[in-house]
Amino acid sequence: MIGGFTLNDDSNKLFSSILVGVYEGKKLIYTGKVGTGFNAKMQKEMMAQFEPLITRKVPFAEEPDVNKPSRFRPNPPHATVTWLKPELIGEVSYTEMTSDGVMRHPSFEGMRSDKKAKTVVLEKEKDSNEVITDSSVIKPRAASKRSTLLNPTEKTQVKKINKHELKFTNLNKVFWPKQQITKRDLINYYYQIAPYILPYLKGRPQSMNRFPNGIAEEGFYFKNITGKST
């Protein structure tokens, strides 16, 4: 259930995140803040649904602290919150639930109109610690079944990805000498975790910190490239 949305002070978006929860009996229990998974078009459509439901009453059993720092964001941007009557259902995927009942790495998947509010309930745990859910609205992501991209022997390799040929060179270069982790190892690692990290990187500007001579040597930030036609 969507019980509100936030807007960061320095944001030019319609909203920065949505506040979601699930029912435990008649109580709406807060399960987290979702700030990824929607583009500008989706935000406009969602805001049209939000506006008639704006309320001064906190819909959750306990008012969440939307500006609470975390270990990953010790200094989060200040946000203001707008509460909504909990009548809208959104589908959210996440990696796991934390010990305090908040979703880790949540991502918005879309609005749902085929579910009733009371069917969106808290997850329960089996004795085997396997998490099950009474609703398909909030669901953990499946484990990645990707194999490695690059073979362990050839120093230079060419791979065809999405109809584009990509050339990978100097794959035996050691980036982390102590652990003997090579350029090949790093590329294979990113390839395997891509399904997990790409939803959070999509549409966000990135700065690359390069260490051409290994992690122990001097590095530099690679951004604001000039002299290239676009």
Task: Domain count for the chain, please give it.
Answer: 2
- Please report, in tens digits, the pLDDT of each residue of the chain (230 residues total): 999 999 999 889 999 999 999 988 889 999 999 998 888 899 999 999 999 999 999 999 999 999 988 766 778 889 999 999 999 998 888 877 777 888 888 888 888 877 666 666 554 444 434 444 444 454 555 555 567 888 888 889 888 877 788 899 999 988 888 888 888 999 988 888 888 888 878 777 777 888 777 777 788 877 655 554 44
Of 114, 140, 166, the one marking the end of a domain is 140
Tokens describing residue 119: 């069917």
pTM of the model: 0.55
Does residue 81 lie in a domain region?
yes
DSSP label at residue 215: T
Q: What is the largest CA-CA distance in the chain?
A: 63
CB neighbour list of residue 3: distance below 8 Å, 6 or more residues apart: 19, 20, 21, 28, 30, 58, 59, 60, 83, 84, 86
Does residue 28 lie in a domain region?
yes
Cβ atoms 79, 67 nearer than 8 A: yes
Residue 104 sits in a domain whose CATH number is 2.40.50.140
Q: Which domain holds residue 167?
A: 157-222
Residues 121 and 176 in one domain: no
Cβ atoms 75, 69 nearer than 8 A: yes
Residues pairing with 89 in the sheet: 112
Strands (E), the chain: 2-8, 17-24, 27-34, 54-55, 79-94, 96-97, 103-104, 107-112, 124-125, 131-132, 138-140, 157-161, 164-168, 174-176, 181-182, 208-210, 220-222
